[in-house]
């Protein structure tokens, strides 16, 4: 297949490598000429995937039109805050039947829309050729060909199955589902909980506290996802529990790392400046709280993270309030 990967950060570069190893013709769109030149000349992206040799078959370009020309499928892997702009440009350049797969794990902060909903708006209201890829997957480990399992969701089962066949390999196993809502919300909202898990670690709390956050975090993610049309089995699967555990406990988690910095006393600006990579949970926290408000769903962890991130609430105070909430049945 001819594939375009839109976004040359760690996850975009790792997915481009995976797809090239599957034998596809892969064009990788990046914003920075320096990154494109490095990928094409040295088959590396040292800033985002240090120590990884990328397949020679990846062609990087800063020209979006060139990247999507003739592509049968495009994979969107840019931070959520840029998705609408990129999808709008993509829609004007790509063939109408080109499939768009969102691999962005976030929500549009201003509208609280899922990225597939943003794509549908920018593609004339149709979701016939839109899918979502998510699951527990650190980019560096995918690039190293560490065995990984993900899930691809599409309203059309035939589309999901065709993507499953195209993306899967010995080290990259893809499952299918039609639950786009559950997969997308699980992938986005786990980042909010991961910031909280990082904060409690930065504060010096132990495994008990992180385990409690994961468990109660899954409960509030599931409440919201089910209220918005997701399915319970999705939230107990790869895109829900699997990704939540990985992101809350793994040392490669950028959202957990940001939370740890906050727990140790750094400001949000200082924590964000420490890495070139975007911690999606920061902006997704706002969208999560907005969706919860609209649906009448209680999300206490997300609400405390909003207070800590945007209202100057001391992280220790936010954690204390979670522990001191009124007692209730599980």
> How much of the chain, in percent, has pLDDT values that exceed 70?
99
98/73 Cα distance (integer angstroms)? 5
Q: Kindly report whether the global pTM for this prediction surpasses the value 0.85.
A: yes
Exposure on the CB side of residue 218, measured as CA atoms within 13 A: 23
CATH 1.10.1040.10 in the chain, residue ranges: 181-323
Q: Which residues are catalytic?
A: 190
Q: What is the mean pLDDT of the chain?
A: 95
Q: What are the tens digits of pLDDT across the range 163-191? A: 999 999 999 999 999 999 999 999 999 99
Q: What number of residues does the chain have?
A: 330
Please state whether beta strands 148-153 and 172-177 pair in parallel, antiparallel, or not at all (unpaired): parallel
Angle at 190 between CA 49 and CA 16, to 5 degrees: 30
Please state which CATH class domain 2-178 belongs to.
Answer: alpha beta
The DSSP secondary structure of 256-313, one letter per residue, reads HHHHHHHHTT--HHHHHHT-SS--THHHHHHHHHHHHHHHT---HHHHHHHHHHHS--
Which residue(s) pair with 328 in the sheet?
A: none
Contacts 24+ apart (CB under 8 A), 15-20: 15/75, 15/77, 15/103, 15/142, 16/54, 16/58, 17/52, 17/54, 17/55, 17/58, 17/142, 17/143, 18/142, 18/143, 18/167, 18/169, 18/172, 19/75, 19/166, 19/167, 20/54, 20/55, 20/57, 20/58
User: What is the average per-residue pLDDT within 243-254?
Assistant: 97
What would the pLDDT profile of 114-163 be if each residue is shown by its tens digit?
999 999 999 887 677 999 999 999 999 999 999 999 999 999 999 999 99
Residues 317-327 as b/e (b if ≥16 CB within 10 A, e otherwise) read ebbeebeeeee
- What does the block give as tokens for 283? 């902006």
**What contacts 164, CB < 8 A, 6 or more positions away?**
152, 174, 175, 176
Cβ–Cβ under 8 Å, residues 202 and 260: yes
Query: CA–CA distance from 216 to each of 40, 230, 292, 303, 330 (Å)?
Result: 45, 18, 15, 13, 9
CA distance 177 to 316: 39
pLDDT of residue 324: 80
Overall fold of domain 181-323: 1.10.1040
Give CA angle at 243 (238, 246), nearest 5°.
Answer: 130
Angle at 7 between CA 231 and CA 2, to 5 degrees: 85
pLDDT at 277: 86
Tens digits of residue pLDDT in 67-108: 999 999 999 999 999 999 999 999 999 998 999 999 999 999
Strand partners, 176: 152
**How confident is the model at residue 225, as a pLDDT?**
98
Q: Where in the chain is the domain with CATH 3.40.50.720?
A: 2-178
* Whole-number CA gyration radius for the chain: 19
Contact predicate 28/34, CB 8 Å = no
Burial class (CB in 10 A: 0-12, 13-18, 19+), 329: exposed
Confidence of residue 291 (pLDDT cuts 50, 70, 90): very high
Q: What is the mean pLDDT of residues 29-50?
A: 96
Over range 51-57, report the average pLDDT.
95
How far apart CA 129 and CA 123 sit, in angstroms, is 10
Spell out the residues 6+ positions from residue 310 whose beta carbon is closer than 8 angstroms to its own: 285, 286
What is the reported pLDDT for 330? Answer: 83
Rounded CA gap, 127 and 188, in Å?
Answer: 19
pLDDT of residue 300: 96
């Amino acid at each position: 297949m001819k594939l375009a990967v839109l976004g040359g950060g760690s996850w975009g570069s790792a997915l481009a490598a995976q797809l090239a190893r599957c034998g596809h013709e892969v064009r990788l769109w990046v914003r920075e000429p320096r990154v494109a030149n490095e990928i094409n000349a040295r088959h590396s992206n040292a800033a985002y995937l240090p120590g990884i040799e990328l397949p020679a078959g990846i062609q990087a370009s800063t020209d979006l039109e060139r990247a999507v020309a003739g592509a049968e499928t495009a994979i969107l892997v840019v931070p959520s805050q840029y998705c609408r702009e990129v999808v709008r440009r993509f829609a004007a350049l790509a063939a109408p039947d080109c499939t768009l797969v969102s691999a962005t794990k976030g929500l549009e902060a201003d509208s609280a829309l899922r990225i597939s909903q943003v794509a549908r708006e920018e593609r004339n209201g149709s979701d016939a050729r839109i899918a979502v890829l998510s699951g527990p997957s650190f980019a560096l480990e995918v690039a190293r060909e560490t065995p990984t399992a993900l899930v691809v969701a599409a309203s059309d089962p035939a589309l999901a199955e065709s993507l499953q066949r195209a993306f899967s390999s010995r080290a990259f196993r893809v499952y299918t589902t039609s639950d786009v809502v559950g997969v997308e919300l699980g992938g986005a909202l786990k980042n909010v909980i991961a910031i909280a898990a990082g904060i409690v670690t930065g504060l010096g709390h132990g495994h008990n506290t992180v385990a409690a956050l994961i468990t109660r975090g899954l409960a509030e993610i599931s409440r919201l996802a089910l209220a918005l049309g997701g399915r319970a089995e999705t939230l107990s699967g790869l895109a829900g529990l699997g990704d939540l555990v990985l992101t809350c406990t793994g040392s490669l988690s950028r959202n957990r790392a940001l939370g740890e910095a906050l727990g140790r006393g750094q400001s949000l600006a200082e924590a964000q400046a420490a890495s070139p990579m975007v911690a999606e949970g920061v902006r997704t926290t706002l969208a999560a709280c907005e969706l919860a408000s609209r649906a009448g769903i209680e999300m206490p962890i997300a609400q405390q993270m909003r207070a800590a991130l945007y209202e100057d609430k001391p992280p220790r105070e936010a954690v204390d309030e979670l522990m001191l909430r009124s007692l209730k049945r599980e």
